[in-house]
Amino acid sequence: MSKSIVLYLHVHQPYRIRHYTIFDAGNNHNYFDTHYDDRTNNERIIHKVAEKSYIPTNRVLKKLLDTHPEFKLSLSITGTLLEQLERWSPATLASFQDLVSTGRVEIVGETYHHSLAFFYSQQEFEAQVRMHREKIEDLFLQTPTAFRNTELAYNNDLAVWADRAGYKTILAEGWDPILGWRSPNYVYTPAHTEQIRLLMKNYKLSDDIAFRFGDKNWSEWPLTADTFAHWLGASPDATNFNLFMDYETFGEHQWGETGIFDFLEHLPGKWLQGNDHTFMTVTEAAQSNQPVGEINVEHTTTWADTERDLSAWLGNPMQQQAIHGLYELQSKVIGTSDLRLIEDWRKLQTSDHFYYMCTKWFNDGDIHAYFSPYASPYDAFMNFMNAYHDIRYRLATHGVIL
Amino acid sequence: MKVLMLGWELPPHNSGGLGVACYQLCKELAKNNEIDIDFILPYVAGHTADFMNISAAHPEDVVEVIPPTNAYDSYSYRKTDGTIETISIYDQQSLYESNVGRIAKKSNFDVIHAHDWLTFRAGIRAKQVSGKPLILHVHSVERDRAGGNDGNPIVREIEGLSMLLADKVIAVSNHTKKAIINDYNIPADKIDVVHNSMDIQSVEPLSGDTAYTYIDEMKKQGYRVVVNIGRITIQKGLTNLLYAAKAVIDNNPKTIFLLVGSGDQERELIELAAQLGISRNVIFTGFQRGKRWRDAYAIGDIFVMPSVSEPFGLTPLEAAGYGTPSLISKQSGVSEVLQNCLKVDYWDVDEMANQITAVVQNDALRDELHANVYQEYQRLSWSEAANKLMGTYANHVGKVAI
């Protein structure tokens, strides 16, 4: 039986909210644009990440696709990022299209706005999934057959939804309390579903690359492609190694200086030296291997923090106030048919806004601070709430009773 | 009669009400032709006043005094060359003391009048070298600034000792006189009460559209607005205001609380509002001045000053001038002089909520309160305070100092 690496990379950037005050609310509706040098300037961040991560990584991936006919991977790219690339870095978008045009890159479906809408509004969630599918069809001529929810947030209900929506594959965190004695390196069936299959992230192997790779205090540092391929090859109980991570691992979370690009470039060659070693996309892996069991997830899991729950986004009262306030306006916002208002409201749903408000400073706090363009979670909260007030102002000018 | 007036700040370089009170009081005193005032500041900031001489005991070129948000923080001084110098409050004070001593030696005056603890040691030095009577003017005591706690022992020692050594103590309210007696065992007959007032001629009028566009729009939908303006510190009693806000909003969802100011309790209160589930109705603007500061008073249906201890408290008078009636804590000096306002014990959250609710539900009550407080407002002047002080001076000048 063959063993495959299932490499899946998530590519995303939010529209960060600028320093937006109560004095802006009602006077301008420009939440996401500020001068180029500001920490929250989205264009500047796109340029920076394109230069440090997207362009060099896609160059390596293209080379791997050209060199190794067996090499395959899966990507999920959010609508909010695709829009920004179209606007500010078309060359980067073209480089993603080049990868997909090889026919060996699968695009995974998700919400267009990288939102947590599944937990607040089925109708809004489905609208955003549809928007994303159409954007992918438009830009990549591909219709997603696999689904991942924002932050890999997963539970039985989500699997049932994806199954009914016709997806063949769904992705989740391979969290120990869920798997118990079982291994993430097999295909599973989600509870209560008919057709769909489940791939679970091998977080230990994934995090060796995504988090520990550049850590000089790690006992395995420096990790080479040779060593990593050897670990996988020596693992007896496996059909598929699900290496799921943020795409920005390459060049952004792990800087080029750590050797991460060399690692990526050499891993496929080293891996493919083994007998029956190959690569598969997520749907291919899910369909080629028989499920070995059923997975039951009653409480939502995610791929973040030591808790693997939604607490990084919804754990404190500020986050809950912000997100409840936003979804409370749904029917009123949709009811205006004001497309710019609806779109701004959707951009505010991006999960990153709530992540920036996280106050779990200890253990996980350092990673939160690294990703935030704000001086504090309180600043993030106030900017968001002022934008929220402006959404309400715009509703009022539409004659909506608040 | 020549007065050596010792003060810590004057507008526009003031961090709070102390500078404004000193300025307006001196202006009123100087209307009497017999009074000559030498006002000594700790910094040079190009102050001009045609009614008194202003000089500096600390020869630094200062263009801006950057206020501390907390009673013991260092003041920072932005100098003409653009650099910022930070001097600890104690060093600043002893520098001021020795410079005032030098000035007192070579100049002639009849009485020394020192405002608040930062100038008290300098006042004693001036009395030592000149043998002239010393009048200490207490605008607040340490317990006020510490929100009812003992506060800083060094500051307490300076306050207690200075008041013992002074010839007369002036308190800005009976509330403050009681605090001085309780905290420092100063004999009651050594303390005169001279209430603060305000110079309504110097009040900047409102102009143009409100800076609070969003709130204005909500008011058109029937929302009512509760305003507080001031430092966000424990002394100001805002924790209780938020608990009251919760009860008000539960019954009157169309109520907005506007909190204007900054301070060391700001983040705590942002989180508290979220915990109470009222973030959507509570707006924190941060520190504001100028039009945004004036407009905040004007947009309110009621101004609330819930201070734990407020030696005087000018804000309800300012609110009256800008068209808004007030609810004030009984633990304030202003409650001794202002009749047409609502009064509550700062700790009585239920009653605070009850009274705010009454106003937000009843425009007639609001309008009646304002019509009447505005009558009081128009009668405000410093002349009574100045007359009392003239009497105090007369009682001490030419007599042997204690």
Other CB atoms within a 10 A radius of the CB of residue B142 amount to: 24
How many of the other CB atoms lie within 10 Å of CB of A306? Answer: 9
Whether A158 and A273 map to the same domain: the answer is yes
Q: Is A376 on the interface with B (CB under 8 A)?
A: yes
Task: Note the pLDDT of residue A359.
Answer: 87
Q: Are residues A87 and A232 in the same domain?
A: yes
Helices and strands in chain B, H and E counts: 14, 16
Q: Which amino acid is at A205?
A: L
Is there a single domain that holds both residue B192 and residue B44? yes
Using CA atoms, how far apart are residues A191 and A155, in angstroms rounded to an integer?
A: 9
Q: Each residue of B202-214: pLDDT tens digit?
A: 999 999 999 999 9
How far apart, in Å, are the Cα atoms of B234 and each of B71, B231, B243, B402?
11, 9, 14, 37
Contact B270 A26 (CB under 8 A): no
B21 CB contacts (<8 Å, ≥6 apart)? B115, B139, B172, B196, B312, B314
Rounded to 5 degrees, φ, ψ at B374 are -70, -30
Tell me: do B248 and B169 sit in the same domain.
no
Residues β-bridged to residue A5: A241, A279
Residues A19, A112, single domain; the answer is yes
In a domain, B245, yes or no: yes
Rounded CA separation A320/A327 (Å): 11
Both tokens of B45, joined, read 């900031």
Distance CA A267, CA A250 (A): 13
Kindly state the average pLDDT of the residues B386-391: 96
**φ and ψ of A215, to 5 deg:** -85, 110
Instruction: Output the CA angle A77-A78-A80, nearest 5 degrees.
Output: 135
8 A C-beta contact, residue A36 and residue A244: no
Q: Which domain holds residue B232?
A: 201-378
Tell if the CB–CB gap between A389 and B214 is shorter than 8 Å: yes
Q: Which residues of B touch A401 (CB under 8 A)?
A: 221
CATH of residue A282's domain is 3.20.110.20
Q: B-chain residues within 8 Å CB-CB of A389?
A: 214, 283
Q: How far apart are CA A253 and CA A245, in angstroms?
A: 11
**A50 and A136 in one domain?**
yes
What residue type is B233 in one-letter code?
A: T
H/E element, A324: helix A317-328
Q: Output DSSP code: residue A7.
A: E
Euclidean distance between CA atoms A293 and B159, whole angstroms: 77
| A314 touching chain B per CB within 8 A | no
Contacting residues for B202 by C-beta, under 8 A, at least 6 apart:
B24
Q: What is the pLDDT of residue B74?
A: 64
Distance of CA B393 to the CA centre of its chain: 24
By mean pLDDT, which of A26-30, B149-153, B331-335 is the weakest?
Answer: B149-153
Asked if residues A326 and A385 have their Cβ atoms less than 8 Å apart, the reply is no
Q: Are residues A231 and A366 in the same domain?
A: no
The answer on B208 and B126 residing in a single domain is no
Distance in Å, alpha carbon of A37 to nearest chain B alpha carbon = 23
Q: Does residue A83 sit in the same domain as residue A29?
A: yes
Q: At B197, is the pLDDT very low, low, confident or very high (cuts 50, 70, 90)?
A: very high
Please tell me whether residues A393 and A252 are part of one structural domain: no
List, as own/partner pairs, every contact residues B51-58 make where C-beta atoms lie below 8 angstroms and the sequence separation is at least 24, other chains included. Answer: B51/B26, B51/B27, B52/B5, B52/B26, B52/B27, B54/B10, B55/B103, B57/B95, B57/B96, B57/B99, B57/B100, B57/B103, B57/B122, B58/B92, B58/B95, B58/B96, B58/B99
Cβ A207 vs Cβ A216: under 8 Å: no
Q: What pTM did the predictor assign?
A: 0.90
Q: How many CB pairs under 8 A join A and B?
A: 70
pLDDT confidence of residue B66: 62
Contact B279 A382 (CB under 8 A): no
Q: Is there a contact between B279 and A318 if contact means CB atoms under 8 Å apart? A: yes
Q: Are residues B41 and B186 in the same domain?
A: yes
Look at residue B69 and tell me whether its pLDDT is greater than 80: no
- Burial code (b: 16+ CB inside 10 Å, e: under 16) for A208-247 equals bbbbbbbeeeeeeeebebeebbeebbeeeebbbbbbbbbb
Average pLDDT of the residues in B3-28:
88
DSSP state of B200: G
d(CA A402, CA B223): 9
**What is the share, in percent, of chain B residues with pLDDT greater than 90?**
79
A379 touches B: beta carbon within 8 Å:
no
Q: Which of A26, A325, A378 sits opposite B213 (nearest CB)?
A: A26
Instruction: Confirm whether B158 is domain-assigned.
Output: yes
User: Is residue A96 located within the same domain as residue A152?
Assistant: yes
Residue B163 tokens read as 């008041």
Selected residue of A21, A23, A374 to mutate for chain B interface (largest B Cβ count, 10 A): A23
Would an 8 Å CB–CB cutoff place A397 in contact with chain B? yes
Q: Is the Cα dihedral A121, A123, A128, A132 positive or negative?
A: positive
User: What pLDDT, in 10s, does the model give residues B24-57?
Assistant: 999 999 999 899 999 999 877 677 788 999 988 7
The residue segments making up the domain with residue A15 are: 3-295
Are A270 and A321 within one domain? no
B175: in domain: yes
Q: Catalytic residue among A106, A110, A124, A151, which? A: A151
Q: For position B75, what pLDDT does the model report?
A: 64
First and final CA of chain B: distance in angstroms?
A: 20
**Residue B165 sits in the same domain as residue B87:** yes
Say if A381 is an interface residue toward chain B (CB within 8 Å): yes
Least CB–CB distance from B280: residue in A21, A321, A378: A321
Q: Give dist(CA B141, CA B247) in Å, integer.
A: 33
Which residues on neighbouring strands pair with residue A11, listed in sequence order? A77
Contact B256, B225 (CB under 8 A): yes
Q: How many domains in chain A?
A: 2
Query: Across the interface, do A23 and B216 touch by the CB < 8 Å criterion?
Result: no
Contact residues, A window 318-337, toward B, CB-based 8 Å cutoff: 318, 320-322, 325
CATH at B224: 3.40.50.2000
> Residue B77: pLDDT above 70?
no
Task: With CB atoms and an 8 Å threshold, state whether B218 touches A396.
Answer: yes
What is the pLDDT confidence band of residue B402, given thresholds at 50, 70 and 90?
A: low
Q: Indicate whether A164 and A202 sit together in one domain.
A: yes
Q: Which residue of A has its CA nearest to B283?
A: A22
Task: Give yes or no: A151 in active site.
Answer: yes
Residues B242 and B177 reside in one and the same domain: no
In a domain, A402, yes or no: no
pLDDT of B259 > 50? The answer is yes
Domain identity same for A89 and A220: yes
3-class state of residue A61 by DSSP:
helix
Final residue in a domain of this structure, among A295, A325, A343 = A295
Q: Which residue has tokens 């109470």?
A: B276
What Cα–Cα distance (Å) separates residue B205 from each residue in B49, B303, B318, B365, B368?
22, 18, 11, 25, 22
Residues in chain B: 402
Q: CB A381 to CB B270 under 8 A? A: yes
> Given pLDDT bands bounded at 50, 70 and 90, which one contains residue B13?
confident
Which residue stretches of chain A have pLDDT < 50?
362-363, 365
Residue of A nearest to B210 (CA): A23
In A55-155 the beta strands, taken as DSSP E runs, fall at 73-77, 105-107, 146-147
- What pLDDT is stored for residue B68 in this prediction? 59
Residue B57 has what pLDDT?
75
pLDDT in tens, B214-240: 999 999 999 999 999 999 999 999 999
User: Which of A325, A388, A393 lies at the smallest CB-CB distance from B217?
Assistant: A393
- Dihedral sign for Cα B82, B84, B89, B91, please: negative
Q: Do B99 and B69 sit in the same domain of this protein?
A: yes
pLDDT of residue B17: 80
Q: Say how many domains are in chain B.
A: 2
CA A57/CA A50 separation, integer angstroms: 9
pLDDT digits (tens, 9 = 90+) for B95-120: 899 999 999 999 999 999 999 999 99
A291 and A319 together in one domain: no
The model's confidence at residue B86, banded by pLDDT at 50, 70 and 90, is confident
Residue A27 burial by Cβ neighbours in a 10 Å radius (0-12, 13-18, 19+):
middle
